[in-house]
Amino acid sequence: MSYLDEVFGLAGKVAIVTGGGRGIGQTVAIGLAKAGAEVVVIARSNADETISKITSEGGKCYFVRADVTKESEVDAALAEIMQKSGRIDVVFNNAGICKHQSTFEASVADWREVIDTNLTGEYIMARAAAKIMVENGIHGSIINMASMSGTIANIPQWQCSYNASKAGVIHMTRSLALEWAEYGIRVNSLSPGYIATPMSVDTPQELKDAWMPLIPMHRMGTPEELVPAVLYLASSASGYTTGSDIIVDGAYTCF
């Protein structure tokens, strides 16, 4: 076994990826599988493409349906995973949504939908997984998907609910890291900047044109450029890293 395999490898580990059916979640799921993990995709809809991409290259992956905002569904999903795989080592808490709306146009229901998915959903999943890790003596890693929007307020689009949810994720991460350190459970967050995914195809061009001058690297990132950060946080390479937020944004938040 090489040094990189020993430090960054995930052989024998079981990794959950929520919202892993497309975009960043799919790319990260593939990366975790390539590092040796058995990957479980949790999503509200199927993840056939992700599973096919992983298993066609000899990786291990299966799908469990659940809505992360519903505690009973999350508990049932994790019970199924424990029955099939026997352990949970890594959680990439990725499921999320965004609504570009001015605060006057958005309804309270819109606010609650974003907060429930992005913040409460991550809390429900992290809490349920951590309970299982503690009960089974597993020193696991929970990686919460935040955003540079948890550190800055984006322009020119208005997205108060999204920004607030991601700021909450970052501080929730710090709080859980402190609370669960004694159990050997590490909790960190990942804060991407603007990432080119299939979803970004639907983003109005005028928004992209406004973003580019504000990105010092003058381009959007790719999902593949997030994978190394996730592998670091998921593996023993980050054994002394907890409560951290890793920003991958092309230097957007530096000014």
Q: What is the pLDDT of residues 67-116, one digit of tens each?
A: 999 999 999 999 999 999 999 999 999 989 999 899 999 999 999 999 99
For the chain, how are helix, strand and coil distributed in percent, rounded to 5? 50, 15, 35
Angle in degrees, 0-180, between the axes of helices 23-34 and 48-55, rounded to the nearest 10? 20
Q: Is the pTM of this model over 0.85?
A: yes
pLDDT of residue 129: 98
Q: Is 18 helix (H, G, I), strand (E, B) or coil?
A: strand
| pLDDT tens, residue order, the chain (255 aa) | 788 888 999 999 999 999 999 999 999 999 999 999 999 999 998 899 999 999 999 999 999 999 999 999 999 999 999 999 999 999 999 989 999 899 999 999 999 999 999 999 999 999 999 999 999 999 999 999 999 999 999 999 999 999 999 999 999 999 999 999 999 999 999 999 999 987 666 788 898 899 999 999 999 999 999 999 999 999 999 999 999 999 999 999 998
pLDDT at 204: 87
Write out the E strands in 23-153.
38-43, 60-65, 90-93, 141-145
Q: What whole-number distance in Å separates Cα of residue 114 and Cα of residue 110?
A: 7
**74 close to 52: Cβ distance less than 8 angstroms:** no
Q: Read off the tokens for 215.
A: 């990105």
Residue 219 is classified by DSSP as S
Fill in the DSSP letter of residue 159. Answer: B
Residue type, 48: D
Q: What is the pLDDT of residue 4?
A: 83
Please state the three-class secondary structure of 44-55 as a single string.
CCCCHHHHHHHH
pLDDT of 197: 87
Q: What are 135's two structure tokens?
A: 């009960």
pLDDT at position 66 is 97
Domains and CATH numbers, the chain: 3-246 (3.40.50.720)
Distance linking the first and last C-alpha atoms of the chain: 42
Catalytic residues: 147, 162, 166
**79-92: burial string, b at 16+ Cβ within 10 Å, e else:** ebbeeebeebbbbb
Residue 199 has a pLDDT of 65
pLDDT at 201: 62
Q: Are the beta carbons of 52 and 39 closer than 8 angstroms?
A: no
Confidence at residue 202, expressed as pLDDT on a 0 to 100 scale:
73
Cα→Cα distances 15→208, 224, 236, Å: 33, 18, 14
Distances, alpha carbon 215 to alpha carbons 142, 155, 210, 253, in Å? 29, 12, 10, 9
Give the residue among 164, 63, 183 at the shortest CA–CA distance from 120.
Answer: 164
pLDDT score, position 154: 93
The CA distance from 136 to 116, in Å, is 28
Residue 127 host element (H or E): helix 121-135
